[in-house]
Amino acid sequence: MKYLLKLSYCGTNYAGFQVQPNANTVQAELMRAAEKIFTVPCLVTGCSRTDSGVHAYEYYATVEVPCGGANISSEKLPRALASVLPPDISVMAAWHVADDFSVRRAVSGKEYVYTLWTKNYPNPFLADRAWHYTRPLNMEQMNEAAKFLLGKQDFAAFMASGSSITDTVRTITRCEAVADSDGTVKIYVAADGFLYNMVRIIVGTLVYVSEEKIKSEDIADILLSKDRKKAGKTAPAGGLYLNKVFINFER
């Protein structure tokens, strides 16, 4: 029996989604919770990795319950899991899916949003949930630079050094910075896939454009160089959220 879960979580207290040997993760918490309510060890598979400290407004995972596990309807599963999960992980909905359903293959793309808090005083409600950045941001130049990132391109220059990924071509369909009236700036990046630290490096690069350390038109040359050192710094993890997952429920 297999369920598909739609969930959200605050990643501050976790070393990312995927299980790690010496740190707590969202996947580990879901596995512990599933075993409690189904009374047997269950396999939990996420739609993607997220890094330590990164949050998710929307995330999908499957739970595989072996024979002998408790029979719980999909309608009752979110409430059952809520009774045993920590409060920073929430299951919003659940569905029965076919045994051969793969949540990773079902995902066609994702959208991340990065939050910056731009007032000159800290926001206690955004501690570990936004980059507190107090210098004026040149939104026009940042968005001009963001246009160079759109489309199918090699993003090797926007991948963390030391990554083992060899295919670094991705297609970005949205990249823009939006200022809210409350003092936050949000940077949206949607693509068919992401490299390690790709969004955080994009954010750091756009901030460098605002600081005039990089010109907006330099982005094209940075992409062609495939050199991580030519892009901006990696923005802090706490401001990054997985915002949307584009998923085909029939796959």
* Contact criterion met (CB below 8 Å) for 189 and 147: no
Taking every pair of C-alpha atoms in the chain, what is the biggest distance, in angstroms? 62
Alpha helices in the chain (DSSP H): 26-38, 77-82, 103-106, 139-147, 198-210, 218-225
* Contact criterion met (CB below 8 Å) for 56 and 11: yes
Measured at the CA of 112, the angle between CA 47 and CA 74, to 5 degrees, comes to 40
Tokens encoding 148: 């160079």
44 to each of 219, 224, 243, how far by Cα in Å?
39, 39, 21
Backbone dihedral region of 192: left (phi > 0), alpha (psi from -120 to 50 degrees) or beta?
Answer: alpha
Residue tagged active-site, from 51, 99, 221, 227: 51
Question: Position of tokens 């731009």?
Answer: 118
Active-site residue 180, yes or no?
no
What is the secondary structure of 70-129 as a DSSP string?
Answer: ----TTTHHHHHHTTS-TTEEEEEEEEE-TT--HHHHEEEEEEEEEEE-SSS--GGGTTT
Catalogue the active-site residues: 51
